[in-house]
Chain A
């Protein structure tokens, strides 16, 4: 039982390049989330998916797209990376929505030059 897994662990991009961050969970959770963590800012919600086939914007969605490929997988795509997207990205999942406890992956550290 791996919980929430994320790939890659670390990535360096040049401005304008694109990439997809992958996330998978094996807990049969309905909800999945993408956050970014920046110094002094805590975690900020980028996008979430309350169930397979649905996605919604969070607090900071600009510059990102997501896909809920199936119940297990939720990917985050940066179409044209910018230095402001340098951050640590965390994926999380929860059994339900609202007040359900979220379980986090180990994070992806992204550096955009």
Chain B
């Protein structure tokens, strides 16, 4: 069963606008959430994370929002840049175990 879901396989935005990537999870035991970015032929690289005790975490142009009651998180990129074009994976885990679950990914294209 897919415990972490990214329902949008792709997203296209104009440079300078906001990109919003969404992620839903089903396991209420998850208490740590991460976003990874992946370029072709490379491994995923860590982007930003949030623990369940927070509802927002910001790092420069990237902000992650967590809605625990809805089991939903989102990644906002403002302003979007062409270099942000990549596949973004949402991931979730429980702090007490190693089993990190990933979503299927969303391919973001930022057009100049």
Contacts and interface: CB of A to CB of B under 8 A. Distances in A.
Nearest to B44: A104
B103 A42 contact: yes
B58 to A, nearest CB: 17
A105 B98 CA distance: 18
B67 interface: no
Contact of B99 (A40, A58, A90, A107): A58
A2 interface: no
Contact of B43 (A59, A101, A105): A105
A59 B9 CA distance: 22
- How many residues of A sit at the interface, in one of the four size bands? 20 to 34
A97 B97 contact: yes
A80 to B, nearest CB: 26
Given A42-B102, A106-B41, A98 B94 contact: yes
A45 interface: yes
Contacts, number: 69
Determine chain B's interface SS by DSSP, over half rule.
loop
A41 B104 contact: yes
Contact of B98 (A43, A90, A97, A101): A97
A4 interface: yes
Contacts of B95: 98-99
27 contacts: A33-B98, A33-B100, A35-B102, A42-B2, A42-B89, A42-B103, A42-B104, A42-B105, A43-B102, A45-B99, A48-B99, A59-B99, A97-B97, A98-B32, A98-B94, A98-B96, A98-B97, A99-B93, A99-B95, A101-B46, A101-B49, A102-B100, A103-B46, A104-B43, A104-B44, A106-B43, A107-B42
Given A101-B34, A104-B45, A106-B43, 8 more contacts: A4-B43, A33-B100, A42-B2, A48-B98, A92-B43, A98-B97, A99-B49, A104-B36
Interface of A: 4, 31, 33, 35, 40-45, 48, 50, 56, 58-59, 90, 92, 97-99, 101-107
